[in-house]
Amino acid sequence: STAQFQRMMNIVHVEGLIRGLDIAKQTYEGTNLYYRYDAFIAKQNDKLFDLTSGNSPDLLLREMLQCVE
């Protein structure tokens, strides 16, 4: 369904944001600025948890497919 496709794309987007923030954070390793992205990463992790309901990928996919039927 359209709603489940949007949900999946939002999950992909948030995962990309988290990965990008992790890469940016690593550029500051060993400095005082290393933890500057932690609040942003935590916020995105919360969004990801809300989108996935904390389910593993296989359970999430099953849930999404059941919503279509």
pTM of the model: 0.83
Residue labelled with tokens 């600025």:
33
pLDDT in tens, the chain (69 residues): 888 899 999 999 999 999 999 999 999 999 989 999 999 999 999 999 999 988 898 999 888 888 765
CB 8, CB 64: distance < 8 Å: yes
Say what the pLDDT of residue 23 is. 96
Give the separation between CA 37 and CA 65, rounded to whole angstroms.
35
- Rounded alpha-carbon distances, angstroms, from residue 2 to 5, 19, 35, 61, 68: 5, 26, 38, 15, 9
